[in-house]
Structure 1
Amino acid sequence: MAQLYSYLTFNGNCRQAMTFYQSCLGGELELQTIGQAPLSEPLPDNIKAYIVQATLRKDNLVLMATDMVANEGLNSGNSVSLLLNCQSEQELHHYYHQLAQQGQATQPLATNFWGAIFGSVTDQFGIRWLLNYDKG
């Protein structure tokens, strides 16, 4: 079966965002700059440092990102969130507090009607994270 990965688009701060996510979540981070891509020679040097593809991997987590913004520009919105389903209450609290650094805790961690501990954070890059731990 096909796998579904989260793929985020940034506007020049992909390296900063993905390094932050690695510091919060752990894992191995691979970054490929535009300058490392074929046919990058005629581009200005400042563009060559932008990230064409970043991949953060840890166990079953794969988060991908880029600085390659489409012609219409980058439009951040609230129609997409990343759900981080945690394996323990300790892991949930750790990720919640890490991701909230310089961001905003939008929903405090609390036990919900479905029996899970749940909360949400909008991180410093404007990405909305939903954090869940099913106690059952």
Structure 2
Amino acid sequence: MATVQPYLNFPGTTEEAFTFYQSVFGGEFQAMQRFKDTPEGDKLSEEEQEMIMHVALPIGPHTLLMATDALPSMGFTLTPGNNFSLTLITESKEEAERLFSALSAGGQVTMPLADAFWGDYFGMLTDPYGIQWMISYDYNQKA
């Protein structure tokens, strides 16, 4: 069965926020990727290239706190209520497809399920009740 992980969106303050969260929860970042390190990073301003595309901090044995800087130049506008998503980490590609299809019925697909450049099968949607979801299957996960 899928696990649920919180995913936060920040207006350019992700690194500051996660330095704070690391001081609270301890541990080491599992991931810290900047926009400059993405395939489209060279199309962004120098300031945006240094912002955080993805960060993950383990905060327990089964929970990752994750986040990104939501860039207005990429079409994001943060308002209270859209600054987080629930991420489902699935055990199979089929489970990802089933959950994505069920949650998006009557809602809105914002990124169809597809192979992502970081190696996961990934998609995003907003369900009929306005909750944002990210569905992810890691092809390289340990069995």
Q: Specify the TM-score bucket, using the shorter chain as the normaliser.
A: 0.5 to 0.7
What does residue range 1-136 of structure 1 map to in structure 2 within 5 Å? Answer: 1-29=1-29, 30-58=31-59, 59-69=61-71, 71=75, 73-77=77-81
Distance (Å, rounded) in 2 between the aligned partners of 1:71 and 1:42: 14
> 1:95 aligns to what?
none
- How many matched pairs? 80
Does the CA contact (< 8 Å) of 2:70 and 2:76 recur in 1? no
Give the C-alpha shift of residue 61 in structure 1: 2.5
> 2:139 aligns to what?
none
Classify the secondary structure of the residue corresponding to 2:36. helix
Structure number with the bigger relative contact order (C-alpha 8 A, sep ≥ 6) is 2
Classify the secondary structure of the residue corresponding to 2:24. helix
Q: What do the CA deviations read for 1:22-81 (whole angstroms, capped 9, x no partner)?
A: 11001221210000111211321101011111100142231000002573511124xx8x
Distance (Å, rounded) in 2 between the aligned partners of 1:54 and 1:3: 18
Give the C-alpha shift of residue 7 in structure 1: 0.4
Classify the secondary structure of the residue corresponding to 1:47. helix
Taking structure 2 as the reference length, the TM-score comes to 0.50
Give the share of equivalent positions with the same residue, in percent.
35
Classify the secondary structure of the residue corresponding to 1:76. coil
Classify the secondary structure of the residue corresponding to 1:41. helix
Does the CA contact (< 8 Å) of 2:35 and 2:48 recur in 1? yes
Distance (Å, rounded) in 2 between the aligned partners of 1:53 and 1:46: 16
Does the CA contact (< 8 Å) of 2:11 and 2:69 recur in 1? yes
Taking structure 1 as the reference length, the TM-score comes to 0.52
Distance (Å, rounded) in 1 between the aligned partners of 2:56 and 2:76: 24
Distance (Å, rounded) in 2 between the aligned partners of 1:26 and 1:72: 30
Distance (Å, rounded) in 2 between the aligned partners of 1:20 and 1:57: 14
